[in-house]
Structures are given as structure tokens and as C-alpha cells.
A and B are shown apart, each in its own frame.
Chain A
Amino acid sequence: MTTFGQLVFSGLLIGCIYALMSMGLTLIFGVLRIVNFAHGEFLMIAMYGAWAVTAFLGLNPYVAIVAVVPAMALFGVVVHQVVISPGVDKPHLVLVFATMGLSILMQNVALMFFSADLFDVPPMFDGQSVIIGPFFFKAELLLGFMIAVFCTISLRWTINSTYLGKAIRATVQDSEAAMLMGVPVPRIFMIAFASGSALVGLAACVMMPLFSVFPTVGLNFVLIAFVIVVLGGLGSIEGALLGGMCIGIVQSVSSYYIAPAYGQLFFFVLFLLVMIFRPEGLLGRKGESTVGIN
């Protein structure tokens, strides 16, 4: 029972980290309706950013949030203007290939600057665990959990209760009508893309004390992020959190009781079952893929 508890507990915490990493993807999809295939590489450069701030300025990786999040938002603006914006009105495949190309470019630029070496930041409390009863966990994981929940709540509040949120929802529901009502749709797209990138920056700072960064680190996470976004319901913020938790727990428990080599198999089985019986995702509404953020 202790083992099972530890597995669920650890799965839940790591799942929230996955969710945090997926929120940027779901936000960008929910508003722009494009799949950013370079999402993993956004995470990778943000992790390098967090590492650089920590290594060169001697700051705590959580303090790096102050620098990395705005830098990633700015990076998002640049990518939006240069790569995304020219392809928004073109056939869907244009942006699929554009973001894929961007992903390969970013991987290789990172390789050029940072080589294939792995970089890490020192763990907090010298890597010692927090022990609650029979359970062990890292403080970094609990912090990640709190930040993921906080992000979900603030994002929901922003979308429901602010003027920007209303403009985003209007754009998603009918961009032409929104434009006629005076909503600056291209700017909303840019803001959404920048916010999605900023969220990746936040996730990177939370992940840096837990994972090493190297040029292809994004590939290890991007598939999980795609599954979480679709599982939770495309464009659903709370769905991403729930999806992340489900994936974390399923991966942890199935890897223990069946085999770690098949850990991904089981979350894909879960994914298929949800797609068969609830194609709109766990928290999505019917027809969500055409509606997006709501």
C-alpha cells in the first residue's frame, strides 16, 4: 500500500509538471488553432535560459522566472511575427512544416552553441528529500505542483474576467465578427503566442532543478505534451492539468506493476480509450477543436 501511495503521489506531482509544460501548447492551439511542433524546442531554449541565469548569476532557478518568462514572451513575439503570422491564412500544412523546420533549426543552433553536453542546476536542499510519513519526494516537485495549479487558476481568471480574456474568447468564437467589433485580432494572436511561449518559460524554470538540459531534451517531453493537450480537451486549460495528472499517475503505476518499458504504451492506451469514448477530451466540449479556448 505504501508503494502504491508513493507511485500515485509521485505520478501526480510529475504529472503537474507535465501539465505546466503543456499549458503553453494548449493556449496557442486554443486561440490560433495551430499546433506548434517546435514546442519541445521552446522548452529546451527556455531551460538553457534558466540554466544560464542560475549558472552565471548564481541565482535560484525559481528567481530565473523573472528573466526567463519575459524573454520567452519576447521570443514568442519574434517567432510569431517572422514564422507564424505569414502562414496563418495559408493551408494548415504550411505552419506544420514551418514549426517543424523551426524545431530542427533550434535544435541545431543549440547544439552549435552549447554542444551535446548536459547542463544542470544544483538541486535545492542539496538534493535531500522531504519525508512525509512513508512517502519521499523532492521539494521541487511540490513547488511545481503548486505553480501548475496557480497557473491554471490565473489563466482561467484571465480568460473569464479580464478585457483581454473577453477579446480572446471573441476572437476564438468568430474572428471576423470580433474584428468588426474592434478587436485587434492579429494582436490577440500575437499576445496568445507570446503568452504560450512565456508559459513554456515558466515550465522550464520549474523543470530545470529536476531535469538536465541538452539540445534534444524537448523530444523527450513534446509527445507527452501533445497527448496531454488532446486528452484534456484541445484548448482546455483545466483539461491540461487533469490530463497531466492522469498521464503522470498512469505512467508511474503501470511502469511499476507491468514494466517500465511499456510505460508509454499504457498512457497511449488511455489516450485511445478517451479518443474512442470521449473524442472531445476529458474536459473538452463537443466540437471543441473548432471552438478552442472558451
Chain B
Amino acid sequence: MRDSLCLSAMAAVIALLSSGPVEAQEPIRIGILEPVTGSASKSGTENWVAMQIARDMINDRGGIPNHGRKIEYVFADVPTPAAAISETERLITNDGVRITAGSGVSPLAIPVSQAAERHGVFHWETAGAAEIITRRGHKYTFQVGPSARRYAEAAVDFTVDVLTKKLGKPLADLRVALLWENRAFGKSVGDNIRRYAATKKIKLIYDEGYDQTLTDMTPIVQKLKDAKPDVLLTISFPNDAILFQRKAKELDFYVAAHVGVSAGYSNPDLINSIGNSVYGIFVSDFAVEVNPKALAPETRKITAEFIKRYQAKMNRSPAGHASMAFAGMWGLFTELLPKAKTLDSDTLRAVALKIDLPEGSLPNGSGIKFTNHDWKPNAKDFGQNLRAAIGVWQWQKDGHNQVYPSALATHEPVLVPLPKWSER
């Protein structure tokens, strides 16, 4: 009896000594799914680099606030939708990951979140913007970056608020054209521009989708040339954006203002490919470097450190994807994980739904407030972040400068109307 009492006491002491500190030190493993090879690798790499910086910064600060657990990533490359499904399942079933994040672009975010949901795993989407991501009845998918609707609304609002004045034309007379690539992101933004433009009484004089693997842009540019728009809104990917700009110059298609939407027009390579022609193009996108006044004081410091680390790694400033990926992961590390007592999906979901973070709290100006079937325009919507930062920046000679909305803007819009091709 005495022996067994002794043994029990020893066991209790050992258990007491071992449980607390070991758990505190055990890192939280997050499955990261980004395309770092294949056609979406440009965005995927931007995201992945920023996510690694977020992990390093939180670990350097002693881990997750409140419990000090460090972050460990389990990475998988997801170049195609098929790989997105199999790799997500592999991370969940083989590596035992219970939280996933990603996924570079919408066509990959859709299968990644689908696979995570099937296993009841909590998914934190920083980049995928297609609206369907939050409208499939998922319980554990949270889209922390802006949804496609927001890109569309930013482009249209900018046209209404700024371009009409700069071009000196009333809205009723403004000829607006819409060109969209016909995959998940382009179609989703295109549909929203059409819908939102109608509410602003903008009549689109041209509205057409195209396949991003198109090798000859002549028909599209010729159609636009015949349509004579004042403002062109386009959703393109990097290669087609370059082909379009080159063909526009070749066929001398002039438009007074061009607003691209993220993806191809936010791609840092664009300037290498089309040179000076890039100056003056507006981009409706994740906010990049926003006016520091729009940020909370602590957030300004975090943002400055992120930009410094990113520049050291990549030799250039972060573009929209990187800024959003960092802001999204920072939100996960500082707002969600510290408040979650356990890491099961139901707890994470409950904490995520309670977050009420004002705009300007995260490094790119975002806040966090997720929908929970309570969003009036669409009751199906769940997990959309209504406070993700979005705006319009412009390719200017001294960099990517935020020009809209005024709260986030650091610069005034210039080059409206655009100079003629011969003068660029």
C-alpha cells in the first residue's frame, strides 16, 4: 500500500512537472499550402515569403502572446487544383496538421479549403478572393483577405469619385469598358463590377471575358479600339496583362484611364516587360504601403519591420499579395491563437467569429470582422472578412503609391488622362 502510494505520488509529481512547460514549448504546427511552382507560383512565392517573415517575427517575440507557443510551418507546394487536394489531405492525415493557411490564388484556394473542410480542419485563407470560397456552407473556412466584391467596388468607387473629376466628364457620359479573364478570380470580380456599376448608374459599353492563355490579343484590343472607352477596367494575369499592353501600343489603342485589378497589374514584373508604359496605370488591390496615420501605433512598427525584412530577403518592396499574407498571418498569430484555449476547429471557429478588430489594426490597414450568415446581401456567406483593406494604388515613377481611398492614400493620382502612346 505504501509502495503504491509512493508510486502514485511520484507519478503525480512527474506529471505535474512535465505537463505545463512541455505543452507551453510545443510549437503550433500550421499547414501552409502555396503554389511555388507552376503558373501561379509568382503569387504563391510572394505569399510564402511573407508568411515565413510573419512566423519568424512572432517567434522572435517569444511566440504567441498569452501562452508563448512558437509557430512551426509544414509546407506543401500546390501548383494545380489536383495537387491542392492531395497535398492538403496529406498534411492533414500524414502530418496531423489541424490548421491550414494559403493558398496564393482563388482556383487553388477553392480546393484547398474544400479538402480542409472535409476533414474538419480550420482553414485561414489570406489570398483567395473568389466569392464562392465563403458561400459553400463551410464551417471552418475563413477568408481573411478581401473578397472579389471588394476589388470590384474599389475599382468602381474610384472611377466614380476620382476619375470622373479628373477626366471632367459626368458619370452619365463616361464610357466605361470591362475586360476580365474568365477563371475564378476574373469572373468573380467581373460579375461584381457589372453588378456594382449598375447600382452607380454606370453603363458598361464593353463587357467581355477571355481565356488567359490567349496568345493573340488583336481581337480584344481591336474591339476596345472600336468601342472608344474613357475608362478601362481589366482583370488579367501577368502574361496576358503584358500581351494586352503591348498589343494596345501596337494597334495604338488609347484610353484615358486604365484601372487593373490585382493579379497581372500588381505583378512587379510588369514594369520590366512594358517599361514606361506602366506609369499611370491604377491597380485596385490589397493595400500595400498605406498612410501610417491609418494604422495603430504598434502596427506601424510591425509594418516597418516587415517591410525591412522583406526588402532584405527579396531586394524589393512587398507588393499587395505579400502585404496581405503577412497581415493575415499576423492577425492569426496575435488575435486568434492567443485567445484560443485549445486548437480544435470548433474553438478556433468560435474565437474567429468573436474577433472585432477595427480597420487599421493590421499592417496593411485591415481589421477583422467575419460574416456568420448574418450579412444582409447574402445570408449564405460565412467567414468573409468585411474589414479587409482594399484600395487603389498607382504605378508612379517613384513606386507603387496608394492613391485611394483617402484614408489610406499616401499620394495624389497623377497622369489622368494618360499621355498618348507616342509621348509615354
Please determine whether B211 and A260 come into contact, CB atoms closer than 8 angstroms.
yes
Please determine whether A216 and B219 come into contact, CB atoms closer than 8 angstroms.
no
Please determine whether B250 and A136 come into contact, CB atoms closer than 8 angstroms.
yes
Please determine whether A216 and B226 come into contact, CB atoms closer than 8 angstroms.
no
Please determine whether A117 and B214 come into contact, CB atoms closer than 8 angstroms.
no
User: Would you give the 0/1 interface string for B202-218, flagging 1 where the beta carbon is closer than 8 Å to chain A?
Assistant: 00000011110111101
Q: Judge whether B252 is part of the interface by a CB distance below 8 angstroms.
A: yes
Q: Judge whether B249 is part of the interface by a CB distance below 8 angstroms.
A: yes
User: Complex Cα distance A189/B405, Å?
Assistant: 64
Please determine whether A263 and B252 come into contact, CB atoms closer than 8 angstroms.
no
> Known contacts being A3-B226, A127-B249, A136-B251, is A118 close to B216, with CB within 8 Å?
no
User: Complex Cα distance A11/B209, Å?
Assistant: 20
> Which A residues, 229 to 281, have Cβ-Cβ distances below 8 Å to chain B?
248, 251-253, 255-256, 259-261, 263-264
Residue from the set B37, B218, B269, B275 with the largest chain A CB neighbour count within 10 Å: B218
User: Complex Cα distance A123/B243, Å?
Assistant: 12
B277 closest partner in A (C-beta):
A127
Please determine whether B45 and A115 come into contact, CB atoms closer than 8 angstroms.
yes
Q: Which residues of B contact A116 (CB under 8 A)?
A: 37-39, 41-42, 45
User: Would you give the 0/1 interface string for B375-396, flagging 1 where the beta carbon is closer than 8 Å to chain A?
Assistant: 0000000000000000000000
User: Complex Cα distance A117/B316, Å?
Assistant: 14
Q: Judge whether A75 is part of the interface by a CB distance below 8 angstroms.
A: no
> Which A residues, 1 to 28, have Cβ-Cβ distances below 8 Å to chain B?
3, 6-7, 10-11, 14, 18
Q: Which of A62-70, A166-174, A193-201, A217-225 contacts B (4 or more CB under 8 A)?
A: A217-225
**What bracket does the count of chain A residues touching chain B fall in?**
35 or more
Please determine whether A212 and B216 come into contact, CB atoms closer than 8 angstroms.
no
Please determine whether B219 and A214 come into contact, CB atoms closer than 8 angstroms.
no
A130 closest partner in B (C-beta):
B250
User: Complex Cα distance A253/B223, Å?
Assistant: 11
> Which A residues, 62 to 94, have Cβ-Cβ distances below 8 Å to chain B?
none
Q: Of the candidates A111, A118, A127, A220, which one forms a contact with B246 in the assembled complex, judged by CB atoms under 8 Å apart? A: A127
Q: Of the candidates B42, B213, B216, B249, which one forms a contact with A248 in the assembled complex, judged by CB atoms under 8 Å apart? A: B216
B238 closest partner in A (C-beta):
A118
Q: Which residues of A contact B226 (CB under 8 A)?
A: 3
Q: Which residues of B contact A263 (CB under 8 A)?
A: 210-211, 214, 216, 219
> Which A residues, 30 to 68, have Cβ-Cβ distances below 8 Å to chain B?
none
Please determine whether B215 and A111 come into contact, CB atoms closer than 8 angstroms.
no
> Known contacts being A115-B45, A123-B246, A127-B249, is A14 close to B273, with CB within 8 Å?
no
User: Complex Cα distance A261/B222, Å?
Assistant: 15
Please determine whether A120 and B272 come into contact, CB atoms closer than 8 angstroms.
yes
Please determine whether A120 and B242 come into contact, CB atoms closer than 8 angstroms.
yes
User: Complex Cα distance A123/B215, Å?
Assistant: 17
> Which B residues, 208 to 263, have Cβ-Cβ distances below 8 Å to chain A?
208-211, 213-216, 218-220, 222-223, 226, 238-239, 242-243, 246, 249-252
> Which A residues, 109 to 161, have Cβ-Cβ distances below 8 Å to chain B?
111, 115-120, 122-123, 127-129, 136-138
Please determine whether B213 and A256 come into contact, CB atoms closer than 8 angstroms.
no
In the A-B complex, list the 4 residue pairs whose CB atoms are closest, starting with the nearest: A255-B219, A116-B41, A256-B219, A260-B210
Q: Return 26 A-B CB contacts under 8 Å, by A number.
A: A14-B218, A111-B41, A118-B242, A118-B269, A119-B272, A122-B275, A127-B250, A127-B277, A129-B252, A136-B251, A136-B252, A138-B250, A212-B239, A214-B239, A219-B39, A220-B213, A221-B215, A248-B216, A251-B216, A251-B219, A252-B219, A255-B218, A259-B208, A263-B210, A263-B211, A263-B214
Interfacial residues, chain A to chain B (CB-CB below 8 A): 3, 6-7, 10-11, 14, 18, 108, 111, 115-120, 122-123, 127-129, 136-138, 210-212, 214-217, 219-221, 224, 248, 251-253, 255-256, 259-261, 263-264
